[in-house]
Amino acid sequence: MHELSLAGGIVKLVEDAAARDHFSRVSQLRLEAGALSGVEVRALRFALDAVTPGTCLAGAQIEIDEPPGTAWCLPCGTSVEIRSRTDACPRCGSHQIQATGGTELRVLELLVHDD
């Protein structure tokens, strides 16, 4: 389950930001895990619940946005929405598509406190 290592990386990123920016606690964390990111959101949420106690994220409300995947279809010359990297273009059925969005896992927002 690579979501556990991703959760550990997220905690490290936030803890490093806390040390750098001098905050002690996070009350809200908002993440984005795109449909094409390869992240199982339920597993990531479970992993975050397991690794945040004892960190500045302990007790934080964690929101995970799941934007759809987007791709450029070469034959159509248009941007289309896809759910999987193996999907065909919903307009023309071609598999000549290149992912252009929804591939990211990133921190969008932190609500922090200096307690």
pLDDT digits (tens, 9 = 90+) for 86-96: 999 999 999 99
Please report, for residues 49, 63, 79, 101, the alpha-carbon distance to residue 111 in angstroms, rounded to integers and kept in the order given.
18, 12, 34, 26
Q: Is the pLDDT of residue 1 over 60?
A: no
Task: Write down the pLDDT at residue 39.
Answer: 96
* Overall average pLDDT of the 61-87 stretch: 95
Residue 102: which pLDDT band, with cuts at 50, 70 and 90?
very high
Is it true that domain 2-113 has CATH number 3.40.1390.10? Answer: no
Task: Write down the pLDDT at residue 114.
Answer: 85
Give the model confidence (pLDDT) of 11-66 as tens digits: 999 999 999 999 999 999 999 999 999 999 999 999 999 999 999 999 999 999 99
Residue 115: which pLDDT band, with cuts at 50, 70 and 90?
low
Cα–Cα distance between 65 and 94 in angstroms, integer? 29
Q: Which residues contact 57 (CB under 8 A, 6 or more apart)?
A: 11, 14, 26, 29, 48
For helices 2-21 and 41-51, angle between their N-to-C axes, nearest 10 degrees: 50
Q: State residue 47 phi and psi, 5-degree precision.
A: -65, -40
